[in-house]
Structure 1
Amino acid sequence: MDDQRERGRELTAQEHFESIRLLADGLSGNNPTPTVTRWKDTVPAPTQPTVGDAVPFAQHGRPPMSLKATDHAALVVVYTWGSLPVGGAISLVLWQLSSVSPMQLAFAGLGAAGVVIAIGAAARMIGRAFRDGASALPDHTVNQYTGTVYVQHTELHTNTRGFGRTNNQITDGQQ
């Protein structure tokens, strides 16, 4: 019953006797039905701290909230600080563009679009080169048969030229 004393209250003689009786009933082998061995503390919990007489108050810093809410608040702060350089860069660009003539602005916009188009075309060419290089490699096929086997090999060759002009050619594998 030491756990009750640590909480700040001594057991009465009747409560002490009842707890010993419940333990003895539960541990004896004479009882065919199990005995309930729980005890409910009927004394209400103190509203004040058990040590000292200070009234609780909110601590400095972030207000008390759940871990999920704290993590979300931290992410909002991080994203807010992270958006400052982007906003500053956009502000500088717009400030510089305020003294530019409309013709220079049009050339700058077309130049940026041209760079994007050139990067896209280069990416397509590189992708096509990888596909062509992979298709030029010989297939590694290992077949193991027992008995008489008839093998029919069919290949499909596709050529596309211009806009949607496709030529499909089916061969039997011998050219």
Structure 2
Amino acid sequence: MHPDTSPATTRPDAVMSDAEAAVEARRIIADAYRPAPTTPTAYRDTSPLPTRGDTPPVIQPGRPPMSQGATDASVLMLAGGAMTAMVGGTAAVLMYVSQYADPLVCGLVFGAPTALLLALARLLKGAKPEPDTHHHYDGPVYQDQRNIHTRTTGVWAKTTNQP
């Protein structure tokens, strides 16, 4: 235990002897070089997780959970926004530097490649052929393929299914 060094017990006019100063110096040095307490800073629970439970799911850091289609659309919108910002920034710099550029002409010149790329992307997306479906059966097979047309009308929803 360390001696009490609160202001009530310490006199300002007190002078330490050489022996007391040496003891106090050893105590200060020992406190400085004392190893840090071994309090754990992390804990990993290795017990197996239950397959079911009443604990609600926790949102994880990063992008929120989305379907693959929503994720693809999100990335496409981010890329389109970046491309639009780059094209618009280039047009703005060109008009500012030249002090003569016509905004309509710049809009057509810089907008045409963007419109062309979007049109080509739409064309390539629509040009994918339907995948071939091959069924291989071993034994007697009965296939029933029907198309059902559903129509829902009215304030009180009435659904009509017709083959």
Shared fold by TM > 0.5?
no
Structure having the larger proportion of residues in helix: 1
TM-score calculated relative to the size of structure 2: 0.30
Higher relative contact order (CA 8 A, sep 6+): 2
Which structure: larger Rg? 1
